Structure 1
Amino acid sequence: MSRTLFDPAPSAELTGRDLKSRLPSSDAARVRRRLVLLAVAFAIGFFGLSARTVQLSLPAQPLLADAAQASESEAPASASEALPWRKRASIVDRNGGLLAVDLPTHTLLVHKRRVKSIPHLAERLAVALGEDDAAGIRERLESARASVILRRRLTPDQVAAVYRVGDPAIEMLPTVTRNYPAGALTAHVVGFLDGEHRGRAGMERGLETRLHDPAAEPVALSIDLGVQHVVHRELKRAIETFSAIGGAGVVMDVDTGEVISLVSLPDFDANMREAMREDAFFNRATYGRYEMGSTFKAFTTAMALEVGRMRLTDGYDATHPIRYGRFTIRDHHAKARWMTVAEIFMYSSNIGAAKMAVDVGTEAQRRFLGSLGLLDRSPLELPEVIDPQAPARWKELETMTIAFGHGLAVSPMQVAAAMAAMVNGGRHVTPTLLRRGPGNPATEREVISPATSEKLRKLFRLVVAEGTGRQAQAPGYVVGGKTGTAEKPKAGGYSRKAMITSFAGIFPMHDPRYVILIMLDEPKGTKETFGYATAGWNAAPTAGRIIPEIAPILGVRPVAPDDPRVIEALSLPANAERTARRNETL
C-alpha cells in the first residue's frame, strides 16, 4: 500500500534520509510540490483574515437570551477571562418592579501594537462612542504600553458603532453590568457592587449569598416603589425648604414589620459610580445615630401606664423647671401648672416626662427600652446598621433626660419599629426589608398590653388634633403621632442652633396600619415658620403631605374624623377629657 508525504511513519526507524529517497526527482514534481505548499499557506492566511473580519464586523451574540439572569464583572484583560453569566439574581420591589438587574454589555479594549494610526483611530472611536474628546482617547492610547481598556459598559448603539469602525486593534469583550432602574430612588436600600461583582453596600451586600445562587428567583423586597417615590420627593423638598444638611424617611407596616419605604438623603445613583460623593453613602435612616427628642415621650408614657400602673388622669406638677446640679430641665411649650399624663404627652412636657420616668425607676426604664429594641442593633438585613449609644453612667439624671429623648442615641429605623409596637396592640415586630411570605414569617414579642396600646392610640391622635403635631393632619385621613426636637450634642454640651427634628406618625389612627417616621438634620427656620425650626413646623407638615399621597397606594381608604368608628376608637375617657379641659381654663 502506497503512502503520501503526509502519512505518518510506520515506525521510528524511518529516517530523514529514507524520506528524501522517496521524493519525486523530476522538475515538474518539484514545481507541483511548491505550488501545493503555497496554496496551503495562502488558504491558511485567507481564512485567518476572514475570521478576524467577521469578528469585527458582526455584533457578539448574547450568551443568554434572558439578560436579567446575567452577572457583572469589571472588564478582564482578554475575552478568555470574561466571567461566566447567570451569577446574580435580580432584586425587585414588592410588586415586581425591577430594582437591580444584570444586563449584557461590552468593554472596549484596544491593542496598541496593532494600531496603525493613533490619531486616526482616536477620531473614529470618538465618533462611534458619541464623544467629543478625541484628544483624550488619543492621549490614553499613546500612554498605554500594550493594551488599554478604553470604555466599560457600552450601550448597544455604541457597540454597533464600534464594530463598524472595523479596526484590527479593537477587541470587544462580552461582559455584563449591574443596572439599577430606579437610580437614586432606592440607593440606600439596594446598594451596589464592587468591581468583582460582589455586594459592597445595601441589600446587595446583605443578601450576598442568596443573590449569588444561580438557581435563585428574583429577590422581592418589602419596598413599594410608588410609596418610595413620594417619600423621597417630599423629604427632598423639606430638606431644601428648611436648608437641612440631610434627612431620613421610613414607612413601616405595623403588623408585619415590612419596611414599605426607606429614604436617606443625600443619596447617590449607583449607575453613575464615578459621580458618587462620599457623604452620600451615609444611611441616616439605619446607620445614623441620633438623640430623637420628644418622640421618646411615647415610650415613657407607655412605660408609666404599663409598668408604673398610672392612669391618664394621674399627673404631675410642671409649674417650675427641674434643677439637678448644674443642669436645668425646662418645657419648650410651658404650661406652668399641674398636668395630667394625657396633657404631658399632648403638650410634650419635658418636666412631666422626667418626673414620670423617675417614679418608674432607672432599671425599669432600661428594661422597657431594651424590650423595644432601642438598646441593641437593629436586626434589619442591611449591613449599614449601628449600635445605639447608651450612657455609660445611667443614673437618675440620665433617666430624666432619656425620658424626653436626650442621652440615648438610636437610629430613625429603631424608633419606627418601636412606635409600631405602641399602636399594634403592643407587639414588637422584627422589621424587615424582605417581602413577607411563607419563608419570611414575622417574629414578635409582647411589650405592652393591648389596653395600654389602645390608650396610646388616643394620645397620638390628641397630639395631631390639638397638640404639637397639628400640621401633620391630612385631609381625608385620621392621623396621629408625636413630634420630637432635640439639640445635637457638641463638645461640653448641646448646640442650640443645630437640631434633629422628627415626627413619628400613624395612620389610619383608629385602625393603625402604618407608621411614618420623618427626620430632618439641622433644619433652619424660614419666614413662613416665623423663624421656628422645631418639628411641628417642618417634620410634621412633611408627613402631612406624604400621607394623603401614599394612603391610596397602600389601600387605605379616606374616612371623616367625625365618623362613628373614629369617635368610638379614639375618644378619651370622659373624666380624662374633663380634667384636661378644666386645666386649660385655670
Structure 2
Amino acid sequence: MSDLPPPSPDFIPHSRAEGARPAESASRAVVRVTGSQATHHRRMPGRLLFASIGFGVLFIAIGVKLTDATIISPAPSRLAQAPRLPPAEPPVSRAAITDRNGEVLAVTVRGTALYARPAEIDNPARVADQLVRILPHLERDRVLARISPPRQFAYIDRFITPRQQQAINDLGILGLYFETAERRTYPRGRDAAHVLGAVDVDGEGIAGVEKWYDERLRVTRDPLRLAIDIRIQRELREALEWSIERFNAIGGSAILMDVHTAEVLGMVSLPDFAAANLATAPAEQRFNRAVTGVYEPGSTFKLFTAAMALEEGRVTMTGGFDASRPIRIGRHEINDFKGKNRWLSLPEILAYSSNLASAHMAMAVGPTRHREFMGRMGMLNRTGVELPESAATLAPSQRNWRDINTMTIGFGHGISVTPLHIVSGVSALANGGTLRTPTVLAVPPGVEREGTRVISERTSEQMRRLMRVAVTDGSGRQSDSPGYFVGGKTGTAQKTNERGQYQENRRISSFVGAFPMNAPRYALHVLVDEPKPRADTGGYATAGVVAAPTARRVVERVAPLLGMVPETDRIAQIQATIALPLNGGRPRSGTAAAPAPRPTPAAPTPAMLPRTPAPTLEQPAPPIRRTDARDGIAMPRLVLAPISPETGRAAR
C-alpha cells in the first residue's frame, strides 16, 4: 500500500487535465460493450416472439378443446352421474320383528317429541287450551299440570306428526321445545299382540317377545324372525271370535303348532289389545289365556292317560276297563256323562269319554308311575316358550300325589295346565313320541330341533288311531274336515269359584288334536271360556258343540295356507290305514269269541309288555287295592274290581 497522502479536493484527473470534455468522456463509458453482449441483445426480441407464439398456440388449443367438450359435443360429467345419497341417519335403537314370511310385525320409527319448560311459559292455561286443540288425544287437565310450575321439565307428547309440530311451532309459544324421538309401532294392530308384547316409553320391552329378547333387539340390528305366520294368526282369531260371539263366551284361545319342530305358527288369546296400547289396556285384555291361564283340561287329558297305559303295558288296543258303576270316595262320586254302564274297550273309552274307565286305567299304572309320566310329558313344569308370561302348572306335589289324585287327573281334573302344555303334549303323541320345547322363533329349514322321547313310536302310532276314532265315532265328530283326517279329543271342565267349589254353569270347552292323522304335521288347540248353551245345540255348551266346530273351521281355513290339499279322492283308502274297530275287536256281553293270546316276553317292543295281565274279558286282572289320605282326612278304601268274562262287568 502507498504512503502517498490522499488527493486534494481540488485534484483533477489526468484525462480532464488534458482538456478532454467531461460529457463526452462519460458517454463513452456507458455505451461501450463487449462483442458477446451485443450478440445477446440482438437475440432477445426473437426469443420473446417465439415464446409468445407458443403460448398463443397452447391457449388456442385449450380453448378449442373446451369449446368442443362443453358446447359442440359436451361429455357427461362424472360428478353428475354419481348417485347423490342422502346423509346417512344413525340406526334406530331397536331391531324390527317379522313373521316367518318377512311380514313386519314391529318396527321403530323416528319422529318428534314435544316437551316444556314450565318456568318459561307465561300463561299455562291458555297454552294448555291451544295444545289440546292441536293434540286432541291429550287431556287438558293433565297438560295443564305438566306445564305449570313448580315443574322444571315435562314431556307433553312423546311422538307427534310433522303437521302437529308445524302447528305448535306456528303458535310461537316460549317454553315449548322439540326433540328427535323414536316410537315402536305395530303395523298389524291386534294381530299377535300377546306374542309380541310391548315396550315402555323408554323403548324397553315390558311383555311378550319384546321383553324376552329385549337385549337381542337392542344389540343386533337384524330383524327377529318369529315362527308366527300372520295369515294363520288372522284365521285363528276370526274363527275364535266367531265361536265366542256365537256362544256368548267371555274369551278363548287358539294355538296351531308344527308337530315336528314345535314351532308356534299361530297363538291367539281373546279378548286382546292393540300392541301399541298395552299400558292402557284393561287387565282382561292383557291376560294371555294361551300361556298364562291355567285350567283343568277335562277329557283332553284322557289321551295322556291312554298313552301312559299303553306305554306301561297296562292295557292293549283290544283291552279295556270297567265303566259299569260309579266310584265313590267319601261324599264324592266319580261317574260318566251319559255313561254306557258296561265294560269299555280302549277305543270306546276315548270315543265315549268315560271318566270311570279312565280312572281305572290310571290306577292300573299307579300314582308313582303316573306322576313320573306326567313329568316326562312336561305337565309339571313351565313350557319353556320364549314368553315371560308363561305360567307354572298347578299339580299335587310328589308327597301329596295319591290314589285319588291319580284317578281324577286320569280324566283331566285335579290338575291345571295351560293350553300350550296340552298342544305340546299332543304333538309328541302324534309325531312319533318326541317332546320338544315349544318356540315362537322360526326354525331354519332343514334344522332338526332336539327333543326328549316320551313314548315309543309304536305307542305313537296307536295313539294316532285312537285320536282318529275319538273324532269319527266320538264327541269330536264336528271337528272332522273331509280330506284332512283330523284326530283329537274334546274336553269339558267345570270352573271353580274362590273357595275351590265347582260351578255347574261355568265351564271350559276345549278341543285338542292333530291333522292329517295318516301323516301328522300340525297340532291344534281351541279353548272357549264360559260358553252359554244355545237352543240349536240342544241346550248344551259342551266341547263337542262348541270347540269341535271351531276346530273344523280353523283346519279348513289354515290348511290351504300351509300348502295342504284335502285328499277327498282317497278318503276311503286313507281312512282304512288309520281305522280302528270301536270295540277293540272284543266281543260285547253275551257274544262268544276265541281267547286272545297273552303277551309273551318275545314281543318286539318291551314297553308294550304288560307287567301284570291287563283287565280283559278273557283274563280278569287281580284286584288293585289302595288306601289314600289327603289333607289329614282318611279316604275310604278303593277297590278296582276285576272284570267278569261272562258279563263284561265288574265282579260284585
TM (norm. structure 1) is 0.80
Is it true that 1:194 corresponds to 2:200 in the alignment? yes
- Report whether the alignment pairs 1:513 with 2:521: yes
Residue 470 of structure 1 aligns with which residue? 477
Q: 1:500 to 1:570 in 2, by over 3 A?
A: same
Q: Within 5 A, what are the aligned runs for 1:390-539?
A: 390-392=395-397, 393-437=400-444, 442-490=449-497, 491=499, 493-539=501-547
Match of 1:59 in 2: none
Paired position in structure 2 for 1:16:
none
What residue in structure 2 maps to residue 154 of structure 1? 160
1:287 matched to 2:292? The reply is: yes
1:253-402 aligned within 5 A: 253-273=258-278, 275-392=280-397, 393-402=400-409
Q: Which amino acid aligns with 2:255?
A: V
Counterpart amino acid of 1:508? P
Question: For the structure 1 residues 566 and 579, does the alpha-carbon distance in structure 2 shift closer, same or farther, using more than 3 Å as the test?
Answer: farther
Q: Secondary structure at the match of 1:410?
A: coil
Q: Is the 8 A contact 1:478 1:560 kept in 2?
A: no
The aligned amino acid for 2:416 is A
Report how far residue 167 of structure 1 moved: 3.9
CA distance in 2 between partners of 1:455 and 1:500 (Å): 28
Per-residue CA deviation, residues 250-295 of structure 1 (Å, 9 max, x unaligned), is 1100000100111112222132245311232221111111110000
Find the partner of 1:173 among 175, 179, 200: 179
Q: Residue 314 of structure 2 contacts residue 365 of structure 2 at CA under 8 Å; is this kept in 1?
A: no
CA contact under 8 A between 1:108 and 1:149: conserved in structure 2? yes
- CA distance in 1 between counterparts of 2:485 and 2:261 reads 21
Instruction: Write out aligned runs for 1:227-238 (5 A).
Output: 227-238=232-243
Shift of 1:112: 3.8
**Alpha-carbon distance in 2 for matches of 1:572, 1:331:** 23
Which consecutive residues of structure 2, in runs of 5 or more, have no partner in the other structure?
Answer: 1-85, 592-647
1:131 & 1:201 partners in 2: Cα distance? 25
1:122-178 CA deviation, whole Å, 9 max, x = no partner?
A: 555445436797787567645674544222221333234334444443311111011
2:198/2:278 contact within 8 Å kept? no
Name the CA shift for 1:404/1:146 in 2 (closer, same or farther; >3 Å).
Answer: same
From the superposition, tell whether residues 398 and 63 of structure 1 become closer, same or farther in structure 2 (CA, over 3 Å).
Answer: farther
User: Who is 2:620 aligned against?
Assistant: none
Q: Secondary structure at the match of 1:547?
A: helix
- The correspondence for 1:252, drawn from 230, 249, 257, is 257
Corresponding residue for 1:46?
Answer: none
SS at 1:290 equivalent: coil
Alpha-carbon RMSD across the aligned residues, in angstroms, is 2.7
Q: 1:307 to 1:115 in 2, by over 3 A?
A: same
Answer yes or no: is the 8 Å Cα contact 2:347–2:581 preserved in 1.
Answer: no
CA deviation string 1:50-87 (max 9, x = no partner): xxxxxxxxxxxx99658xx52xxxxxxxxxxxxxxxx2
Give how far 1:579 is off: 4.8
Q: Cα deviation per residue 1:23-68 (whole Å; 9 max; x = unaligned)? A: xxxxxxxxxxxxxxxxxxxxxxxxxxxxxxxxxxxxxxx99658xx
| Residue identity matched to 1:458 | R
Identity of aligned residues (%): 41
Specify the structure having the higher radius of gyration (Cα). 2
Kept in 2, the 8 Å contact 1:478–1:561? The answer is no
Any idea what SS the aligned residue of 1:185 has?
Answer: coil
Contact 1:187 1:269 in 2 (8 A): yes
> Residue 5 of structure 1 aligns with which residue?
none
Alpha-carbon separation, structure 2, partners of 1:226 and 1:429: 24
Q: How many Å apart are 1:424 and its aligned residue?
A: 0.6
Residues of 2 paired with 1:493 and 1:130: CA distance? 49
Aligned AA for 2:333? T
Residue 567 of structure 1 pairs with residue 572 of structure 2: no
Q: Give the residue type in structure 2 aligned to 1:544.
A: R
Assess, with a 3 A threshold, how the Cα gap between structure 1 residues 322 and 252 changes in structure 2: closer, same or farther: same
Hey, what's the Cα distance between the residues in 1 that align with 2:209 and 2:333?
A: 44
Name the counterpart of 1:76. Answer: none
| Higher mean C-alpha displacement, 382-391 vs 418-427 | 382-391
Checking the alignment, whether the CA contact within 8 Å between 2:513 and 2:525 is kept in structure 1 is yes
Mapped partners of 1:236, 1:486: distance in 2: 21
Q: Residue 75 of structure 1 corresponds to which residue in structure 2? A: none
Match of 1:224 in 2: 229
The one-letter amino acid paired with 1:557 is V
> Structure 1 residues 251, 316: closer, same or farther in 2, change over 3 A?
same
Is there any run of 5+ residues in structure 1 with no aligned partner, and where?
1-61, 71-86
Change (3 A) 1:179 1:564: same
CA contact (8 A) 1:223 1:260 kept: yes
Q: Distance in 1 between matches of 2:352 and 2:461?
A: 19
Structure 2: distance between partners of 1:332 and 1:151: 59
Separation in structure 1 between the aligned mates of residue 212 and residue 441 of structure 2, nearest angstrom: 11
Counterparts of 1:180 and 1:132 in 2: how far apart (Å)?
A: 21
8 Å CA contact retained: 2:319, 2:584: no
CA distance in 2, matches of 1:574, 1:228: 36
**C-alpha distance in structure 1 between counterparts of 2:575 and 2:138, whole Å:** 67
**Structure 1 partner of 2:190:** 184
| CA deviation after TM superposition for structure 1 residue 438, in Å | 7.9
1:209 to 1:580, Cα distance in 2 relative to 1, 3 A:
farther
Q: Which amino acid aligns with 1:571?
A: A
CA distance in 1, matches of 2:208, 2:137: 33
Q: Is the 8 A contact 1:333 1:349 kept in 2?
A: no
C-alpha distance 191-131 of structure 1, shift in aligned 2 (>3 A):
closer
TM-score, normalised on structure 2? 0.72
1: CA distance, partners of 2:482 / 2:589: 26
